[in-house]
Amino acid sequence: MKKRNAVITLVVFAVVTVLLGMMVIFGLGTEKTGAASNIKLGLDLAGGVSITYQAVGDGEPSNDDMSDTVYKLQKRVEGYSTESQVYREGDDRINIEIPGVEDANAVLEDLGKPGSLYFIKEYDPDHNANYSMAGFKEDGKPSYILAKSIEDLEAEGSIVLTGNDIQTAQAASYTNDMGNIEYIVELTLNTEGTKKFADATTEAVAAHDSIMIYYDGDAVSVPTVQSAITGGQAQITGMSDFEEAENLASTIRIGGLKVELEELRSNVVGAQLGSEAISTSLKAGAIGFVLVAIFMIVIYFVPGLCAVLALCLYIVLVMVLLVLFEVTLTLPGMAGIILSIGMAVDANVITFARIREEITAGKTVKSAIKTGYEKALSAIIDGNVTTLIAAIVLAVLGTGSIKGFAATLAIGIVVSMFTALVVTKGLMNALFELGVKDVKFYGMAKERKYIDFLGKRKLFIGISLAVIAAGFICMGVNAGMGKGGLNFSLEFLGGTSTNVAFNEDMSLSDIDSNVVPLIEDITGDANVQVQKVAGTNEVIFKTRTLSAEERTAFSKAMVDNFSVEPETITAETISSTISSEMQSDAVIAVLVSIVFMLLYIWFRFKDVRFGASSVMALIHDVLVVLAFYAFTRVSVGSTFIACMLTIVGYSINATVVIFDRIREALKAAEKGDTLEPIVNRSVNQTLSRSLFTSLTTFIMVFVLFILGVSSIREFALPLMAGIICGCYSSVCLASTFWYLLITKFKKKEA
């Protein structure tokens, strides 16, 4: 019976893996071939639609108004994709880039004309008709035509609010007293809007009037005023579904722009990183996976083989889920997948080490497998859940690429836990029942040299302080030389966008290999973004801000090497694609995620010092990697955020595993046992796991660094430094921090 169940397990695994693999190759019922083809790719990997708006009206808009407009538009276009980018071009233009979209006209129609939202009193037509009924639109909703101009309505005081008075507009739902779901839009007004709306709604209630929301030449909603609204919070009810509520909320948000805009141009543009970025990344991923598979099988024998098979299922599951959840995959998102692969390997390594310990202690293979999984469970759950908490917080509070990173990381963590705890275990048990029972197929724990980590704590702390101090000194020297403490890229500082019309339609691969190196020589920066304008010979090159001399050298290189007509080369200064508001949102998201991780570790370990030690190790890793950026002058761009988040997630997972072993040792400790040997023994027992997991993850990133294009290498290099640093801090510092806290602040015993 057991053999029969084992065969069924293997057959089910094979069938599911093959079917999912076929879905990845041949598609998910769409016109495209393969789930991989249906994964949404970001601007950096696939391109999208680029729309440029021009500010209209009297005078030049202020810098603050333009910045506010950019931020609000960013929130609006995230409805298309979290990876959408909005940035300034020159003084009075705003550029929007939306990935995965090919119809610019559809986007323009949906966005409407930003900056033309009004709340207008609806008077009784017999008294003072400000607008008249003009029939019905196709959706059956009434359409109104204003009988007076906006200027006249403003003059007579009929305009209650403008979009500038709205602070936020969010779709929501609730269950009413009858048990039915109501869909609403919740409005929050600013201080001035609160006062104006209180007066207007008080008058409207007395006169039985409504207040029409008028946007871009149409009435989008005519809600009835049921009571005076004086607190700055209002609700619009009556939506048929959540989508309708979200559309109205989006309309109100975009209508709240401080600058009125009109379309200047729109294009379909290609990938920013070029065609080679995807192909080399896929090759690197495949080679890295093969190397990791060989490593796992060589080190762990049959359990390693089971882990590799489970990882195959993991990969196809992640691809399918990326399509089903419509996640936009970018380079930072790929970092999340790399991290989750490392954590999938990690869960297996933790378990296999436990199994070998049980076999070495004299247990049978079957008993060792069962006990090994039981003992490894808490470490796996705590490590993964801690990182998952961070991913969820980042997905909720983050913006742009942070959301994409968080989504892929969350999917990867959940799938990796399933494949490690369920699939690998099931495969091992099946092979055991089919006769693979000899101890030689599973291995035994080897006795390793005992390392006194706590005894070397002054050395470790000294090394870390020296590296961090050197990093700050280097940043200070760089800043003093006028180069900036860090080499911030155009995503943070803005730069120059140069449009070049070539004499032929050059392929992306030709541009990557022939044109980009010339630009890199001129700028001394590998962070060159390339976008082709579909249907033309035009190519957009985005670089750091170029001086007058560099712009001249750029034009000369294009003319001399590609016979480009000088007058077809145009350059514009562009703002950062990561605005100050987005930067502050990112910082807040990271801080909140760290707080939640701290609280979770405190809850699980019943001692806040475990959480505090983990956070101290995280801060150490961030500062050391900052020092690496300062010394190497690697460009600090959008991938910098993903790199830091990857390191934080990786480090916290490794630290929690060691703390789990310390917690277990403390429970088993006898009276009279001292703390220092317990900590040292726990670190030594988990040392192979820390090294092996770091090595497998390092292999994946190292292959990416070797094969990738320059922009990919600039992402992989600091990530490799972070992996090494995360391993070092988890092994050499985290337990030391905890030991110092526990001995410095001893609990008062009852």
pLDDT tens column, 694-718: 888 888 888 888 887 666 787 788 9
Give CA separation, 75 vs 28, 585, 589, 630, 674, in Å. Answer: 30, 12, 16, 32, 55
Q: Where are the alpha helices (DSSP H) in 361-500?
A: 365-397, 401-418, 424-433, 457-480, 490-493
Q: What percent of the chain has pLDDT over 70?
A: 87
Q: What is the pLDDT of residue 84?
A: 81
Q: What is the pLDDT of residue 705?
A: 85
**How is residue 168 written in tokens?**
């936020």
Q: Residues of 163-196 as b/e, b for ≥16 C-beta within 10 angstroms?
A: bbbbeebebeeeeeeeeeeebbbebebbeebbeb
Q: What is the pLDDT of residue 189?
A: 87
Most confident segment among 70-79, 329-338, 582-591, 604-613: 604-613
Confidence grade of residue 733 (pLDDT, cut at 50, 70, 90): very high
Residue 303 has pLDDT above 70, yes or no: yes
Contact 646, 335 (CB under 8 A): yes
Task: Give, to the nearest 10 degrees, the angle between helix 735-744 and helix 638-668.
Answer: 60
Distance CA 630, CA 492 (A): 16
Backbone angles phi, psi at 607, to 5 degrees: -155, 115
Confidence grade of residue 501 (pLDDT, cut at 50, 70, 90): very high
Q: What is the pLDDT of residue 18?
A: 83
Distance CA 621, CA 594 (A): 14
**How is residue 461 written in tokens?**
């702390």
Class of domain 495-574: alpha beta
Q: What is the pLDDT of residue 125?
A: 45
Look at the pTM and tell me if it is higher than 0.85. no
Q: What is the pLDDT of residue 112?
A: 57
Q: What is the pLDDT of residue 586?
A: 75
Q: What is the pLDDT of residue 628?
A: 94
Backbone angles phi, psi at 151, to 5 degrees: -65, -40
Q: What is the pLDDT of residue 606?
A: 87
Give CA separation, 208 vs 123, 133, 200, 222, 716, in Å. Answer: 9, 18, 12, 13, 64
pLDDT tens column, 447-470: 778 899 999 999 999 999 999 999
More confident residue, 68 or 353: 353
| Domain residue limits, the chain | 48-114+265-269, 117-256, 454-472+581-744, 495-574
Torsion 65-66-71-74 (CA) sign: positive
Average pLDDT over residues 332-338: 70
Distance CA 333, CA 391 (A): 12
CB atoms inside a 10 Å sphere around CB 105: 9
Distance CA 215, CA 31 (A): 37
At which residue do the structure tokens 């930003």 appear? 114
Contact 183, 190 (CB under 8 A): no
More confident residue, 646 or 364: 364
Q: What is the pLDDT of residue 115?
A: 58
Chain centroid, CA 55 distance in Å: 31
Class of domain 454-472+581-744: mainly alpha
Confidence grade of residue 130 (pLDDT, cut at 50, 70, 90): very low
More confident residue, 337 or 696: 696
CB atoms inside a 10 Å sphere around CB 449: 5
Which residues does 671 contact at the CB level (< 8 Å), separation at least 6?
Answer: none
Confidence grade of residue 423 (pLDDT, cut at 50, 70, 90): very high
Q: What is the pLDDT of residue 553?
A: 93
Distance CA 100, CA 45 (A): 10
Look over the chain and give the mean of its residue pLDDT values, rounded to a whole number: 81
Q: Which amino acid is at 117?
A: L
Which residues does 679 contact at the CB level (< 8 Å), separation at least 6?
Answer: 453, 454, 662, 735, 738, 739
Which CATH number is 48-114+265-269 given?
A: 3.30.70.3400
Strand partners, 569: 500
Torsion 340-342-344-347 (CA) sign: negative
Class of domain 117-256: alpha beta
At which residue do the structure tokens 């192909």 appear? 279
Q: What is the DSSP letter of 80?
A: T
Average pLDDT over residues 593-606: 87
Q: What is the pLDDT of residue 369?
A: 94
Q: Choose the weakest-confidence range: 100-104, 324-328, 511-515.
A: 100-104
Average pLDDT over residues 345-366: 90
Residue 748 has pLDDT above 50, yes or no: no
Most confident segment among 176-185, 441-450, 652-661: 652-661
Asked if the domains at 48-114+265-269 and 454-472+581-744 fall in one CATH topology, the answer is no
Q: What is the pLDDT of residue 305?
A: 94
Contact 182, 173 (CB under 8 A): yes
Residue 477 has pLDDT above 90, yes or no: yes
Which has the closest alpha carbon to 389: 640, 663, 604, 585?
604
